[in-house]
Amino acid sequence: FYALYMRSSLAKRVVTLHHSPPVLDVNSTSAEVSPERFWGSYRPQVYFGMKTRSPRSVVTGMMWMRQFSEVDVNLRHTCEQGDRLQGYGWLMHDGLSFGVQEIHDSDFTLTTEFVKRMGGEHGGDWTWRITAKQHSSAPHAPVISLMFYAAADTQGYLEAHVEERNRLGSITGFSEELGNFKITFRKPVAGESSSAKYASYNYLQTMSPGLERLTDIVRNSLNRRFVYSHPSGEKRQYIAVDTYKPQHQPKSADPRKESDFVLHQVTVQTPFQIEVLFESGSFRDRPNQLSAAAMTEELEKRKAAFDAKFEKTFGLQAKGLGQAQVKFSKAALSNMLGGMGYFYGQSVVQSVYNEYPLLYPEGALFTAVPSRSFFPRGFLWDEGFHQLLLSKWDPQVTREATAHWLDLVNMEGWIPREQILGDEARSKVPAEFVVQHNENANPPTLFLALQKLVEQLQANPDAESSRPTLPFLRRLYPRLQTWFEWYNTTQTGPLPNSYRWRGRDKDTNLFLNPKTLTSGLDDYPRASHPSAEERHVDLHCWMALASGTMASVARLLGEPHQEYERTHQTLSDNTLLDELHWSDQLRSFSDYGNHTQAVSLQQEKVYVPPGQPRHQFPVARLVRSVRRAPKPQFVNALGYISLFPFLLHVLTPDSPKLEHIFRDMRDADKLWTPYGLRSLSRADPLYMKRNTEHDAPYWRGPIWININYLAVRALHHYGNTEGPYQEKAATLYQELRSNIMNNVYRQYAETGYIWEQYNDSTGSGQGSHPFTGWSALTVLIMAEQY
Ligand code: 6A9
């Protein structure tokens, strides 16, 4: 009985939140407490939409389609790489009050702009302006349908107001958080001061069983019975929303989720401009409507303020960077800001004490995302990198995002690595990737961001932007301590002061090299045979950074800091580091473990008895063949992992190891390319090798910007610190910096996107796109702010 009892109470630990008071007050994101940040483009997964920072916000958004096109129904809504747009993203966005986005579709461009205006008690008003222009190469002016919608999410209601036949003039509604509000759809005009253009109108008014179903509902309601009769006499059938008959509800559908969904469709030929106004009922002394000339004026003001703040913050013009590069940089920053999401829901988690996965407590997450199309959700170690950039622009964003992340820590000190919160997020992820395991870490990069906040505070303690940092750290501190302790106890290695990532792939004979997703560098080669004998040099260095930051935060708060200090000193001891991780054979830092290099992927042998048809037997898979038995030794895979003691400034400036590191970095047969450092040496046996038949090389050659940012930052550090390698570092710094920024910029100019990684032979962008998570750190590289 006792054993059973223990088991069930242990099973609950994984879903029990940390006991200290949350960093954020319950209502910290409400319209009352934080009106200026209440509404925002916090739906990074859609091309254009807004919601409030609340758990069950009324959401607004836009879908569109081109009429009379060869592709039958080309409905656009959620960001999809399959839409093959020629580029889209925010060109300007201040993270607070306005944004300007361009979306390049087949033969037209949509510019989507929003401006907010404060007033009343519910987060104020906002106006959208959509401008459509055909591409100069297009033979005819395309006819486009824009579909604007509002959807409730289990709270409040919406009412449609139909004027003249099918034209939905406005939606009124009410919700607890928004009070009364009205959304008005203006008629399209050719330009700001011209009169209305000919347009056809349709609308849809229905119930939706959940926000993840909106696209399907619209798609299923489309009908081609409508006639677009242009004043020129031209009549053509077009596609529009019609009555929607809710399909036979699947059994799992939850009737409590049924909510109002109202959509306005306007079909019009380019060029045109359309405005949508959201007006809050409690905003009574509105000076005028935020529309037409007033909207233009407001936009111009915000743009000018954005430009000025951008230059003041990053100083790119002063550095002599060209117009086009500056524009690129603004887009990179704006996409990270405009890609911030507010998510709410429960992770699905598992510990060794649960037979089945459990639901984590409900929680909110205000976070930037790596990619609006492919993974529009929070990732723990990505976020530390995101906040390096965002903390320069607006430290309040960094404090709030960090607070949200740390408020998700459980009593053990664990934070789930990938945050898949809410039905919309869940609907994008295949089931096998949803469950998060509580043995699994991810690099504690939030310490990099905290370091920045501490530096800003120390440099400028009285500045308005850094004054809230001290009280913030005070509330964060108990959680930070437990978070740090979790790493320091659960991820220890076999020798004193060594560390080991848990959660490596188990089914080792299916992989050329079992992955280590937890480290963030998924398929980077580690010991071929995962075991408890392993020690990982990157984690050692992350812990050096984490303990150092803990020590400085503790000192700042007047808390005991000796223990953190001691850990930091031990982990920074270059002699210890050599003992644990220096491979004399490779002359490089390295992981250690049960390892052999003699592995390869081979077709599994499938025995087909003579005379039997081949197709009745399973298809031969690739499996690993091990030609020489593994033994305890250094892994000797030269690449990003070998650089960590340099990347995180653990090496002392006089360390002779720097010479080896610089030599390997600068060697084109190893890590150097004209576009940045490649992840794995060209000379490594696993360079650009697939891990399974389905798994293309990921961290086995391609260039990643987060690590390149750390490399440039480290070169800057050693180049500015007295020592025998100072000059070499300074030279390399210049070269690496210009290689990275030139290539990321060139790829953006050529393809319209910032990419997840860059090809080490051609520099081409590859993988997920747009990827304006850590690849946007290029801005800091351009600005030389580290
Ligand atoms: C699985 C796909 C339709 C992989 O940027 C986020 C992470 C990084 O943290 C990590 O270091 N990316 C890097 O190696 C992307 C991970 C995406 C997992 C998505 C399911 C389904 O999408």
Max intra-chain CA distance, the chain: 88
For atom 10 of ligand 1, the residue with the nearest CA is: 520
Residue 370 Cβ inside 6 Å of ligand 1? The answer reads yes
Model pLDDT for residues 491-541, shown as the tens digit of each residue: 999 999 999 999 999 888 889 999 999 999 999 999 999 999 999 999 999
Q: Is the pLDDT of residue 245 over 70?
A: no
Q: What is the per-residue pLDDT for 632?
A: 98
User: If you measure from the C-alpha of residue 54 to the centroid of ligand 1, how many angstroms do you get, rounded to a whole number?
Assistant: 26
pTM, to two decimals: 0.96
Residue 450: φ, ψ to 5°: -65, -40
Is the CB of 157 within 6 Å of ligand 1?
Answer: no
Per-residue confidence at 248, pLDDT binned at 50, 70, 90? Answer: low
Paired residues of 363 in beta bridges? 345
Residue nearest to atom 15 of ligand 1 (CA): 375
Ligand 1 pocket, 443 CB below 6 A? no
Q: What was the pLDDT predicted at 582?
A: 98
Q: Are 648 and 542 in contact (CB under 8 A)?
A: yes
Ligand 1 centre to CA of 500 (Å) is 22
- Nearest C-alpha neighbor of 47 from the set 61, 32, 68: 61
Report which of 736, 711, 716 is spatially closest to residue 726, judged by C-alpha positions. Answer: 716
Q: Is residue 80 in contact with ligand 1, taking CB distance under 6 Å?
A: no
Q: What is the dihedral of CA 629, 632, 633, 636, to 10 degrees?
A: 60
The dihedral over CA atoms of 88, 92, 93, 97, expressed in degrees to the nearest 10, equals -130
375 lines ligand 1 (CB under 6 A): yes
pLDDT in tens, 679-738: 999 999 999 999 998 899 999 999 999 999 999 999 999 999 999 999 999 999 999 999
**Atom of ligand 1 minimally distant from the CA of 699:** 14
State residue 533 phi and psi, 5-degree precision: -80, -5
Taking the CA of residue 381 as reference, the ligand 1 atom at the shortest distance is: 9
Evaluate: CB of 433 within 6 angstroms of ligand 1: yes
CA of 713 to the centre of ligand 1 (A): 25
The percentage of residues in the chain with a pLDDT greater than 90, rounded to a whole number, is 89
Cα-to-centroid distance, 702 and ligand 1 (Å): 15
Going from the Cα of 519 to the center of ligand 1, the distance in angstroms, rounded, reads 12
* Cis before 443? omega within 30: no
Whether ligand 1 lies within 6 angstroms of the CB of 81 is answered as no
Tell me the CA–centroid distance for residue 375 and ligand 1, in Å: 7
Q: Would you say 224 and 239 are in contact if contact means Cβ atoms under 8 Å apart?
A: yes
- Give the residue whose CA is nearest to atom 13 of ligand 1: 520
The number of the ligand 1 atom at minimal distance from the alpha carbon of 756 is 5
Ligand 1 atom nearest 380 alpha carbon: 9
Q: How far apart are CA 594 and CA 610, in angstroms?
A: 41
What is the amino acid identity at position 754?
Answer: I
Report the nearest-CA residue for atom 5 of ligand 1: 370
- The residue-averaged pLDDT of 356-384 equals 97
Q: What is the pLDDT of residues 308-323, one digit of tens each?
A: 999 999 999 999 999 9
Are 341 and 44 spatial neighbours (Cβ–Cβ below 8 Å)?
yes
How many angstroms separate the alpha carbon of residue 379 from the centre of ligand 1?
A: 8
The reply to whether ligand 1 has any atom less than 6 angstroms from the CB of 40 is no
Q: Is the CB of 520 under 6 A from ligand 1?
A: yes
Q: The tokens of 549 are what? A: 């930051």
381 lines ligand 1 (CB under 6 A): yes
Confidence of residue 609 (pLDDT cuts 50, 70, 90): confident
Please indicate whether residue 429, judged by its CB atom, sits closer than 6 Å to ligand 1: yes
Q: Whose CA is nearest to atom 8 of ligand 1?
A: 520
Please tell me what DSSP assigns to residue 536: -
Residue 230 pLDDT: 87
Neighbouring CB atoms inside 10 A of 537's CB total 27
Ligand 1 contact via 395 beta carbon (within 6 Å): no
Q: For residue 240, what are the contacts with CB-CB under 8 A and spacing of at least 6?
A: 145, 200, 202, 222, 223, 226, 265, 267
With a 6 Å cutoff on the Cβ, whether 428 touches ligand 1 is yes
* Binding site membership of 640 for ligand 1 (Cβ less than 6 Å): no
Give pLDDT tens digits for 581-598.
Answer: 999 999 999 999 999 999
Nearest CA to ligand 1 atom 19: 375
pLDDT band at 4 (very low <50, low <70, confident <90, very high): low
Q: Is 324 in the pocket of ligand 1 (CB under 6 A)?
A: no
Which residue has its alpha carbon closest to ligand 1 atom 11? 520
Ligand 1 within 6 A of CB of 379? yes
Q: Is the pLDDT of residue 9 over 90?
A: no
CA-to-CA distance for 54 and 30, rounded, in angstroms? 7
Q: Which of 68-72, 129-133, 641-645 has the lowest mean pLDDT?
A: 68-72
Flag whether pLDDT at 251 surpasses 60.
no
- Collapsed DSSP state (helix, strand, coil) of residue 418: strand
> How far is ligand 1, taken at its centre, from the CA of residue 71, in Å?
30
**Mean pLDDT over the full length of the chain:** 95
The answer to whether residue 254 scores a pLDDT higher than 60 is yes
- To test the pocket of ligand 1, the residue of 80, 375, 405, 691 to mutate (highest count of ligand atoms within 8 Å of its CB) is 375
Give the model's pLDDT for residue 541: 99
Residue range 410-439: mean pLDDT, rounded = 94
pLDDT at 681: 98
Is residue 637 a contact partner of residue 686, using CB atoms and an 8 Å limit?
yes
Contacts of 716-724 with CB under 8 Å at 24 or more apart are 716/784, 716/786, 717/649, 717/786, 718/646, 718/653, 718/658, 721/653, 722/653, 723/652, 723/653, 723/654, 723/658, 724/654
C-alpha angle 386-392-397 in degrees, rounded to nearest 5? 60
Local confidence band at 17 (pLDDT 50, 70, 90 cut-offs): very high
Atom of ligand 1 nearest to the CA of 522: 14
**Whether 624 contacts 510, CB under 8 Å:** yes
Please tell me the predicted confidence (pLDDT) of residue 249. 57
pLDDT at 192 over 90: no
For the CA of 520, the closest atom of ligand 1 is 11
Say which residues have a Cβ less than 8 Å from residue 582's Cβ, sequence separation at least 6. 588, 589, 590, 657
Set 260, 298, 756, 760: catalytic member? 756
Report pLDDT for 458. Answer: 96
Of the chain, the percentage scoring pLDDT greater than 70 comes to 98
Mean pLDDT value of segment 231-247: 83
Q: Is the CB of 770 under 6 A from ligand 1?
A: no
Measuring from atom 16 of ligand 1, which residue has the nearest CA? 375
The pairing of beta strand 436-437 with beta strand 348-350? parallel
- For residue 520, the CA-to-ligand 1 centroid distance in Å is 9
Q: CA angle, 249 as apex, 243 and 255 as ends, to 5°? A: 100
Q: What is the distance in A from the centroid of ligand 1 to the CA of 770?
A: 13
pLDDT at residue number 71: 72
Q: Which of 522, 559, 667, 784 is catalytic?
A: 522
Residue closest by Cα to atom 2 of ligand 1: 429
Cα 786 to Cα 777: distance, rounded to the nearest angstrom: 10
Distance of CA 490 to the CA centre of its chain: 27
Q: How far is the CA of 42 from the centre of ligand 1 (A)?
A: 20
756 is catalytic: yes
Ligand 1 centre to CA of 340 (Å) is: 17
pLDDT at 678 over 80: yes
Gap from CA of 85 to ligand 1 centroid (Å): 21
Could you tell me if the CB of 38 is within 6 A of ligand 1? Answer: no
Calpha distance 721→733 (Å, rounded): 13
156 residue type, one letter: G
